[in-house]
Chains A and B, each alone.
Chain A
Amino acid sequence: NAGVMQNPRHLVRRRGQEARLRCSPVKGHSHVYWYRQLPEEGLKFMVYLQKENIIDESGMPKERFSAEFPKEGPSILRIQQVVRGDSAAYFCASSKRGGLNEQFFGPGTRLTVL
């Protein structure tokens, strides 16, 4: 029973480069959430997606950040032209039915921007 998978686990980028973070949900889960966690801070919601649809992106910065969850393949969080302030742990969570239901987290991608 595979859980949520994320890759890469660690990603180092220089300022101005692009970062691509991947998330494969639990098998049978069609709801994916992305969160960001800064050191000593709580988890902050970024975006909620279902297959081929962005349902809620209210937590995502308007510029440089985008997310997708294609019909086939993993969900991808893309950060263009990264800056040092983007350094954080990015977690993906999946849920079977969305809404009020439980979310299960992947191991996270730790992004470091030099």
Chain B
Amino acid sequence: QKEVEQNSGPLSVPEGAIASLNCTYSDRGSQSFFWYRQYSGKSPELIMSIYSNGDKEDGRFTAQLNKASQYVSLLIRDSQPSDSATYLCAVNTGYSNQFYFGTGTSLTVIP
């Protein structure tokens, strides 16, 4: 079982819609959670970090964490074509130095 799992997609949404990206993790002791955006051929760019159950909002982005169900999600409101990228979920267990990354979900926003 992989530590972090994401649906690889591709996920397509029309411009202006809400894009919903999901991630599940296997280690119940995980303590910190991150969403990165990676454009093709570029490096990962940190979008959001979340440490507590519930929602965390930053502009058009909302991260949601549910530790009981072991999932974390990212909502992108008013999606723009420039949001088209691969979104990586990363998890840190707290007793390891590693960030465990999912393989990413490819998002395409259609104008």
Contact = CB atoms under 8 A, between A and B. Distances in A.
Interface of A: 33, 35, 40-45, 48, 55-56, 58-59, 91, 98-108
A56 B98 contact: yes
A45 B98 contact: yes
B102 A42 contact: yes
Nearest to B51: A100
Instruction: Give the 7 A-B residue pairs with the shortest CB-CB distance, closest first.
Output: A100-B32, A42-B103, A56-B97, A43-B101, A45-B98, A48-B97, A105-B43
Nearest to B103: A42
Contacts, number: 58
A42 B104 contact: yes
Contacts of A98: 97
11 contacts: A33-B97, A35-B101, A42-B88, A43-B101, A44-B101, A45-B100, A56-B96, A59-B98, A103-B99, A106-B43, A108-B43
A98 B94 CA distance: 10
B34 interface: yes
Interface residues of B, number: 25
A37 B101 CA distance: 11
B43 A91 contact: yes
Nearest to B31: A100
A104 B99 CA distance: 12
Given A43-B88, A91-B43, A99 B102 contact: no
